[in-house]
């Protein structure tokens, strides 16, 4: 089988990583505006205050998307650009900006895929009640969603509710790498449960306002492997799969937590704070598709078989967590996989892992899948206006082949959005970790002229789209 005729060959981005314009046209501060301005939180103290200035250069970038033949573009809306204080008064210039972006995409035959939340929580809500730590956020997030549904629901068919809930909760409340920079397992589980409820409520409301649209969360899926066939390693892998994957996927796709997950958490002293109506609400949040952000797999072993310092530290330009132990170490610990390659940031390169991820989702949930992110972060070099990124082409080629194999296995894959179309601000890594088809000429020290250059991968992906995945 080949890719379906209407397969969404796309690319993706996030508002804080590309837009810039952090303090103009009525936008309020997000938690990332504040966090990235605290020295030591990001590589070389870089911020998204200017980013790659998509706010002013969106027409230029969309013109490049049209030249490539892009079929879809996934972008996120900045909550504080719509609601500067997170609730209350709406910012009309924020509303207008996203209308212009969506209209320009549609004008160029590019399907807009709108992500409602990609980590830039309004700082006002963090200050008022602790953001995701309070159930008050469910109402505020729902009201924000309804504004977007009413404004853009007649233009946008595909919606992503929460981007990588597992990442913003774990890095924010376990590993101290994202705001609010905490490390407490019970707080992490509490926050995650509230986010699950907010996601379900957002989907419930979506059905009322955008009846012809499709919505789903975007999950950062890292399939689990066992270090060996030793039964204790296999059990450790099973435990990791429950805590690191099914803790989210089961709630999304089935509207309930797995009893195994609940009991594993209890075994390390952690409980889920159910209140009246929670279980009923979760059942109302079953998505139309599962969004998958795939970058790598993870290998685990039992703690009694732990090898000290087995996992390599990140070698790229980044900020690292100072958290040395987690409660889950009693259930599983990371292990090195000698059968895979590594990126410049020591992320595992495992194309077969994407096929495994798609098969596991299909087998367990039988939902359509939209690959909402996949890409290679690397050091790119601009020479005479050109970037020769054969390494990125090879990476994407292998992963597209894995998608095609998974379709032949029986998986229903709606589309493939690479991360990312343009180079962008990479959260903890500044601007040196580049993902895009388009090189943006800036670095941590200077924004320069933010000039755009098409990389070799730009022309390669254009051929992929033109041939509907046949000309690899």
Tokens of 438: 């388009």
Q: Return mean pLDDT, the chain.
A: 95
Catalytic (active site) residue 373:
yes
CATH number of 8-220+340-466: 3.20.20.80
What mean pLDDT do residues 193-208 have? 98
pTM (predicted TM-score): 0.95
Judge whether residue 317 has pLDDT over 80: no
Judge whether residue 439 has pLDDT over 90: yes
Residue-wise pLDDT tens digits, 237-270: 999 999 999 999 999 999 999 999 999 999 999 9
What mean pLDDT do residues 31-58 have? 96
What gap in Å lies between CA 28 and CA 93, rounded to an integer?
12
What mean pLDDT do residues 421-432 have? 94
Residue 461 near residue 418, CB atoms below 8 Å: yes
Judge whether residue 124 has pLDDT over 70: yes
At residue 59 the predicted structure's pLDDT band, cuts being 50, 70 and 90, is very high
pLDDT (0 to 100) of residue 188: 98
pLDDT (0 to 100) of residue 2: 86
pLDDT (0 to 100) of residue 404: 97
pLDDT (0 to 100) of residue 318: 83
pLDDT (0 to 100) of residue 218: 98
Query: Which residue among the candidates 67, 107, 373, 445 is catalytic per the annotation?
Result: 373
Judge whether residue 309 has pLDDT over 90: no
Judge whether residue 274 has pLDDT over 60: yes
Judge whether residue 307 has pLDDT over 60: no
What mean pLDDT do residues 85-93 have? 98
What gap in Å lies between CA 297 and CA 225, rounded to an integer?
7
Judge whether residue 325 has pLDDT over 60: yes
Beta-bridge mates of residue 224: 298
What mean pLDDT do residues 68-87 have? 98
What mean pLDDT do residues 186-206 have? 98
Residues 239-272, buried b or exposed e (16+ Cβ, 10 A)?
bbbbbbbbbbbbbbbebebbeebbebbeeeebeb
Nearest CA to 70 out of 18, 8, 115 is that of 8
Judge whether residue 280 has pLDDT over 90: yes
Judge whether residue 149 has pLDDT over 60: yes
Domain boundaries, the chain: 8-220+340-466
What mean pLDDT do residues 74-102 have? 98
What mean pLDDT do residues 455-468 have? 98
pLDDT (0 to 100) of residue 310: 57
Judge whether residue 303 has pLDDT over 90: no
Residue 76 near residue 15, CB atoms below 8 Å: yes
Beta carbons within 8 Å of 397's beta carbon, 6+ residues apart: 472
What gap in Å lies between CA 8 and CA 372, rounded to an integer?
10
pLDDT (0 to 100) of residue 472: 85
């Amino acid at each position: 089988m080949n890719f379906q005729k209407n397969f969404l060959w796309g690319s993706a981005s996030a508002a804080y990583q590309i837009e810039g314009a952090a303090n103009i046209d009525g936008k309020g501060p997000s938690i990332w505006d504040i966090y990235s301005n605290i020295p030591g939180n990001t590589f070389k103290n870089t911020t998204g205050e200017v980013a790659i200035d998509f706010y002013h250069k969106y027409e230029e970038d969309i013109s490049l998307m049209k030249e490539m033949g892009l079929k879809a573009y996934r972008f996120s809306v900045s909550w504080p650009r719509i609601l500067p204080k997170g609730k209350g008064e709406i910012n009309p210039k924020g509303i207008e900006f996203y209308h212009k972006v969506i209209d320009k995409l549609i004008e160029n035959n590019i399907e807009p895929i709108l992500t409602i939340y990609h980590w830039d929580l309004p700082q006002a809500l963090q200050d008022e009640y602790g953001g995701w730590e309070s159930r008050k956020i469910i109402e505020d997030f729902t009201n924000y969603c309804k504004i977007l549904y009413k404004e853009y629901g007649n233009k946008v068919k595909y919606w992503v509710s929460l981007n990588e809930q597992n990442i913003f909760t774990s890095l924010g409340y376990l590993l101290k790498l994202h705001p609010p920079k905490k490390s407490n397992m019970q707080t992490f589980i509490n926050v995650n449960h509230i986010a699950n409820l907010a996601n379900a409520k957002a989907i419930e409301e979506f059905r009322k306002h955008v009846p012809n649209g499709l919505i789903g969360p975007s999950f950062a899926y890292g399939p689990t492997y066992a270090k060996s066939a030793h039964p204790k390693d296999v059990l450790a892998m099973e435990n990791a799969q429950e805590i690191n994957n099914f803790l989210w996927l089961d709630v999304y796709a089935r509207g309930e937590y797995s009893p195994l997950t609940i009991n594993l958490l209890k075994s390390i002293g952690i409980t889920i704070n159910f209140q009246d109506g929670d279980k009923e609400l979760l059942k109302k949040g079953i998505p139309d598709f599962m969004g998958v952000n795939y970058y790598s797999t993870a290998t685990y072993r039992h703690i009694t078989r732990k090898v000290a310092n087995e996992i390599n530290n990140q070698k790229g330009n980044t900020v690292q967590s100072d958290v040395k132990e987690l409660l889950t170490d009693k259930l599983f610990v990371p292990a090195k996989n000698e059968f895979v390659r590594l990126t410049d940031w020591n992320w595992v390169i495992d194309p077969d892992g994407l096929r495994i991820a798609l098969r596991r989702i299909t087998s367990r949930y039988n939902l359509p899948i939209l690959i909402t992110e996949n890409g290679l972060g690397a050091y790119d070099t601009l020479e005479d206006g050109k970037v020769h990124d054969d390494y990125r082409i090879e990476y994407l080629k292998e992963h597209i082949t894995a998608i095609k194999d998974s379709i032949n296995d029986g998986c229903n894959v709606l589309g493939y959005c690479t991360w990312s179309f343009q180079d962008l601000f990479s959260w903890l890594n500044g601007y040196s970790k580049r993902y895009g088809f388009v090189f943006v000429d800036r670095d941590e020290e200077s924004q320069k002229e933010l000039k755009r250059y098409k990389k070799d991968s730009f022309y390669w992906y254009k051929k992929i789209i033109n041939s509907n995945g046949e000309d690899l």
